[in-house]
Amino acid sequence: MLVAATVPHNSRKCCIAALGTGTTFKEVSKGIMEKFQIPLPPLEEQRRIAAILDRADAVRRKRKEAIALTEELLRSQFLDMFGNPVTNPKGWEVIELGNLITDIESGWSPKCDSREAEIDEWGILKLGAVTWGYFNPSENKALLPDTVPRPELEVKSGDLLFSRKNTYELVGASAFVHQTRSKLLLPDLIFRLCLKNTINPVYLWQVLSQKAMRVEISKLASGSAGSMPNISKARLRTLNLPIPPLNMQLKYHQIVNLFWKQQNHQKDFLQSSENLFNSLLQSAFRGEL
């Protein structure tokens, strides 16, 4: 345990990386790793330190499990209220997506820096910002200094985003922008769905995110061999969706708001446990634990 915990330490990683050789990509040989020195206290001291780190790591893992559990509860709540969106056992009215929206906006993908944009810089979202069903604003690339931004493509709170191009497993992922920093722009690979007032954006996000519906969405994708599947605006508009009364959609939105509040608390707790674990790890390396 102690040796395994030692290697990931940032200072050790930097030292190991500096020993790498190669022009295309750096490689650390087995011989170098065998000679790499790791401080090793007496066995009893190792066991004591390992026990402390194990307890801190257990807290960290439980926080992650709690976040995953609340996400599963949210999915279960959707199915309890609305049923499977494809088989539609509750008999909701079925409406094509094209009749629920006013527009499908496309983004823009200029050449960008590979790094994430600073808070005062303009950036372009990457596919990873929506791939897993939740909006992640840190998944972005900084706009190059000489590129003029397009503010009309700035992503705002309340937007519903949809990935039009990806692998068959990931194409059609959607994310509701609950909160976001400023100066992040919509990329070419992500649509923004502009909704009529007859549909709640959180309900639409969740119905698009259900496993059964994701299968139906993937059927809309097309593409030649060797290219990523793409969903056109025209095909997306034909997607059939079960639409319950608006008051039920709003009730579900309220439940999701409670979920977000709880999840924020859990993420704060997770960050605290991560900080504690890393602090203990560094103290162990300095011989102060």
pLDDT 10s digits, 68-81? 777 788 888 999 99
Contacts of residue 122, Cβ cutoff 8 Å, sequence gap at least 6: 142, 143, 149, 183, 184, 185
| Three-class DSSP category at 175 | strand
User: What's the predicted TM-score (pTM) here?
Assistant: 0.74
Contacts of residue 221, Cβ cutoff 8 Å, sequence gap at least 6: 168, 171, 172, 229, 230, 231
pLDDT score of 282: 74
- Name the burial class of residue 21, with classes exposed (0-12), middle (13-18) and buried (19+) by CB atoms within 10 angstroms of its CB: exposed
Least confident of 34-43, 89-98, 165-174, 205-214: 34-43
The torsion angles phi and psi of 4, rounded to 5 degrees, stand at -60, -35
Confidence of residue 47 (pLDDT cuts 50, 70, 90): confident
Q: Which fold has domain 96-242?
A: Adenine-n6-DNA-methyltransferase TaqI; Chain A, domain 2 (3.90.220)
CB-based contact 137:180 (threshold 8 Å): yes
pLDDT score of 11: 45
What is the number of other CB atoms lying within 10 angstroms of the CB of residue 145? 8
Overall average pLDDT of the 266-277 stretch: 70
Confidence of residue 16 (pLDDT cuts 50, 70, 90): low
Q: Give the span between the Cα atoms of 195 and 217, in whole angstroms.
A: 18
What is the number of other CB atoms lying within 10 angstroms of the CB of residue 183? 19
Least confident of 74-78, 190-194, 248-252, 273-277: 273-277
Q: How many CA atoms within 13 Å lie on the side-chain side of 127? A: 12
Looking at the predicted structure, is the pLDDT value of residue 286 above 80?
no
The structural domains of the chain, with segments of one domain joined by +, span 1-41, 96-242
37 Rama class: left (phi>0) / alpha (psi -120 to 50) / beta = beta
What is the number of other CB atoms lying within 10 angstroms of the CB of residue 273? 19
Q: Which residues pair with 195 in a beta bridge?
A: 101
Give the residue from 163, 242, 173, 176 showing the smallest Cα distance to 214. Answer: 173
Antiparallel, parallel or unpaired: β 190-195 and 101-105: antiparallel
| Three-class DSSP category at 94 | strand
| Three-class DSSP category at 176 | strand
Burial readout 220-232 (b: 16 or more C-beta within 10 A, e: otherwise): bbeeeeeebbbbe
Torsion sign over Cα 33, 34, 39, 43: positive
Q: Give the span between the Cα atoms of 146 and 166, in whole angstroms.
A: 29
Q: How far is CA 102 from each of CA 98, 153, 192, rounded to the nearest angstrom?
A: 8, 16, 11
Looking at the predicted structure, is the pLDDT value of residue 40 above 80?
no
Least confident of 18-22, 224-228, 248-252: 18-22
Percent over 90 (pLDDT), the chain: 59
pLDDT score of 10: 47
Percent over 70 (pLDDT), the chain: 81
CB-based contact 209:61 (threshold 8 Å): no
Q: Give the span between the Cα atoms of 257 and 277, in whole angstroms.
A: 30
CB-based contact 132:173 (threshold 8 Å): yes
Antiparallel, parallel or unpaired: β 123-125 and 184-185: parallel
